[in-house]
Amino acid sequence: MRHTLPIAPQFYVTAPQPCPYLEGRMERKLFTALQGDGVDQLNSSLSQQGFRRSQNVLYRPSCSECSACMSARIDVSAFAPSRSQRKTLNRNRHLERRATSPWATEDQYALFRRYLDERHADGGMADMDVFEYAAMVEETPIRTRVVEYVDPEHNALTAVSLTDVLDDGLSMVYSYYAPDLPQQSLGTFMVLDHIEIAREAGLPYVYLGYWVPGSQKMGYKAKFAGLEVYFGGGWVPVKNPAAFEADHHPLSNTPIAEQVANIQLPQGQTRRR
């Protein structure tokens, strides 16, 4: 007899903790586990509703004080590279893209450590060891790829993206790159290349994680044409990022119970009460 875990997701809320993006504010997340049958459909459905994946968990900001953090994606059909982005593509044309199954390697971890030590030494992942890194990459119950960018002249791993394949696009779960090559704008290049991958595959969107107006860490996402954010229960085009204000009002978020009730689940799945 075959036994499977319940496919109906149950949602939880994390305890408040300091916000990593806006000083003086507290963050809280709504989350559910990716388990049982139908996880690919659940991942795609909830990603389309502003959720993000971390290993076998899907989460979405649900802060009690504001709604500044918004899930962001690029509409591939509405994207056209800027002059600066075309230069970035040209600077990195020598890099080879290699898409592999989600398997961690020593070269990846060495680059990952260089990136953290240089760019995010005080971040929440700063102490991640090789086993935790392997778990981040390999503990995925859904369709995931590791996209590596290699300098063939020196056989040097230069950039990496952990990428989920959704029903309607690519989701860049986590990416990192050589921190000593700022002139190559590798973070921007990986997004541009994922837009090209999505276009080649006929997928309409590239999901980038969260955009927070006013946060320097997230400012680069506003530089891509075709940017949309999940706001007020739907996807909204960001026509003018400079004029798009984050919502810091303490009553801007609906109650948790109402948020959960409004989540649309894949056909055949019902909410556990």
Query: In sequence order, which residues have a C-beta less than 8 Å from that of residue 196 and are 6 or more positions away?
Result: none
What's the DSSP call for residue 166? -
- Residues 19 and 66: their CA atoms lie apart, in Å, by 11
Q: Quick one: 60 and 153 in the same domain? A: no
Residue 188 pLDDT level (bands cut at 50, 70, 90): very high
Residue 268 pLDDT level (bands cut at 50, 70, 90): low
Q: Is residue 7 part of a domain?
A: no
Q: Quick one: 31 and 87 in the same domain? A: no
Q: Quick one: 176 and 251 in the same domain? A: no
Mean pLDDT of the chain: 88
Domain of 20? 12-70+247-261
Among 7-11, 25-29, 88-92, 160-164, which is the least confidently predicted range? 7-11
H helix runs in the chain, sequence order:
39-47, 83-91, 106-119, 130-138, 186-201, 256-261
54 has a pLDDT exceeding 80: yes
Q: Is residue 179 part of a domain?
A: yes
Domain count for the chain: 2
Taking the model in full, what pTM does it have?
0.89
Q: Quick one: 53 and 77 in the same domain? A: no
Q: Vertex 195, ends 208 and 100: CA angle to 5°? A: 85
252 has a pLDDT exceeding 90: no
Q: Is residue 20 part of a domain?
A: yes
Q: Is residue 66 part of a domain?
A: yes
Q: Quick one: 193 and 163 in the same domain? A: yes
Q: Is residue 23 part of a domain?
A: yes
Query: In sequence order, which residues have a C-beta less than 8 Å from that of residue 13 and are 6 or more positions away?
Result: 28, 29, 30, 31, 62, 256
- Residues 75 and 79: their CA atoms lie apart, in Å, by 6
Q: Is residue 197 part of a domain?
A: yes
What is the mean predicted confidence (pLDDT) over 115-128? 79
Higher pLDDT, 254 or 127: 127
What is the mean predicted confidence (pLDDT) over 159-167? 97
Q: Quick one: 22 and 125 in the same domain? A: no
Helix (H) or strand (E) holding 234: strand 234-237
Residue 1 pLDDT level (bands cut at 50, 70, 90): very low
Residue whose token pair is 């070269």: 107
Q: Quick one: 222 and 198 in the same domain? A: yes
Q: Is residue 48 part of a domain?
A: yes
Q: Quick one: 47 and 168 in the same domain? A: no
Which of 7, 50, 64, 27 is closest to 262 using CA atoms?
Answer: 50
So what's the pLDDT on residue 215? Answer: 73
What is the mean predicted confidence (pLDDT) over 236-249? 73
So what's the pLDDT on residue 72? Answer: 95
What is the mean predicted confidence (pLDDT) over 108-137? 88
